[in-house]
Amino acid sequence: MTAEKRTLTIVQLYPDDMNIYGDWGNVLTVLKRAKWHGLEPELINYNVGDKFPTHVDILIGGGGQDSGQLKVQDDLQKIAPRLRELAENGTPMLMICGLYQLFGRFFKTQKGNIIEGIGIFHAETHAGPERLIGNITTHSEQFGDIVGYENHSGQTFIDSDMQPLGKLVRGAGNNGQDETEGCLHHNAIGTYLHGSLLPKNPAIADFLIEEAAKKRFGDFTPTVIEDRFAAKAREIALKRPR
């Protein structure tokens, strides 16, 4: 049997403007794990004004400062129909912090201005009175404990027809009130967790890769990856002060 070349196209959304607190760690983890699982990942960076790639297997977007969100908002509306179609078709996505907020319906700033989102997540975000900062742990049946670090002032409320990514174990989560964190809709994940998220939560990285591979090639055979360092790093992160 000749080995068939299995290319996986990873698109990083707005790395020039929305890329802070180790967002590169998530992209790197998907690229490396896809390779270790025997796939051939290719990375496309999509920035404001670029031509949107014709094919996307995994879409990853990061956090940004308020100024970054302002810079991308018009472009995001332009590509919104494509993004919604991809999400509805089950394309795996990971949106952290700032882009998680804009993948909801809107972000309402401290001054009451509305930054329109694209509504993939049925959720809305309101600027909060304080930054929610610190180590955070959540739990999901699908992924087990999820560990990371949150740093946001927006408070996100997801609609009742949406599933959170995890239930809060410690930390503030979506809004500091309802014990939820993030959002999982089809195969699109939105979350506030940095840290970076994927290296210390390889189950989520492998979920994105597996869903993408199955969707493109019909099947996926994982390789056993040595995750000893990740396991120890998780164990320690769980015990560190907020």
Partner 1 sequence: MVRPHIATIGKVVRHVTRLRGGGSAFPGLVVEKIDPHFTRDVLAALPHGVVIISGTNGKTTTTKMTVELLESQGFKVFTNRTGSNFARGVTAAILADIDYSGRLDADIAVLELDEAHAVKFVDVVSPRYSLLLNVMRDQLDRFGEIDTTARMLAHIAQATTKTVVLNREDPRVAPIAETLPDSVESEFFGLDTKLRAKFPSDDDLHSTAKDIEARDADVILKSFDGNTAVFRFDNNEVAVPLKLRGIYNIYNAAAALALTRTIALEHYNKKALLEALGNVEPAFGRGETLLLDGQPIELVLVKNPSGFRLALESFPPIGYATMIAINDNYADGRDMSWLWDVEFDSLRTPGVAQVGGIRAYDMALRLQYDEVETIAVDTDISNALSQFISSNPDSPKRIYCTYTAMLKIREQLGKITEVEKVL
Q: What is the DSSP string of 165-222?
A: SEEEEES-TTTSSSSEE-EEETTEEEE--BS-HHHH-HHHHHHHHHHHHHHHHS---P
Quick check: is 122 catalytic?
no
Task: Please count the residues of this chain forming the interface with partner 1, following the rule CB under 8 A.
Answer: 38
The reply to whether 200 sits near partner 1 by the rule CB under 8 A is yes
Q: Pairing relation of β-strands 123-140 and 166-170?
A: antiparallel
Residue 214's nearest CA partner among 8, 64, 50 is 8
Residue 90 C-beta: closest distance to partner 1, Å:
27
Stretch that binds partner 1, among 87-95, 108-116, 146-154, 162-170 (CB under 8 A): 146-154
Stretch that binds partner 1, among 82-90, 162-170, 171-179, 230-238 (CB under 8 A): 230-238
CA angle 163, 164, 168 (to 5 degrees): 145
Stretch that binds partner 1, among 72-80, 138-146, 190-198, 216-224 (CB under 8 A): 190-198
Burial class (CB in 10 A: 0-12, 13-18, 19+), 178: middle
Chosen residue from 40, 42, 65, 170 binding partner 1 by CB under 8 A = 65
Catalytic entry in 97, 152, 183, 185: 97
CA 164/CA 99 separation, integer angstroms? 16
Residue 176 C-beta: closest distance to partner 1, Å:
16
Which tokens go with 126? Answer: 């309101």
Residue located via tokens 């794990």: 33
Quick check: is 97 catalytic?
yes
Residue number, 45 or 119, with CB nearest to partner 1: 45
The reply to whether 53 sits near partner 1 by the rule CB under 8 A is no
Residue number, 33 or 185, with CB nearest to partner 1: 33
CA 70/CA 83 separation, integer angstroms? 19
Q: What x-and-dash track marks residues 13-32 binding partner 1 by CB under 8 A?
A: ---xx-xxxxxxx--xx--x
Phi first, then psi: give them for residue 235, nearest 5 degrees. Answer: -55, -45
List residues with catalytic annotation: 97, 194
Query: What is the binding site for partner 1 (CB under 8 A)?
Result: 16-17, 19-25, 28-29, 32, 65-68, 131, 133-135, 149, 151, 153, 194-196, 199-200, 226, 229-230, 232-233, 235-237, 240-241
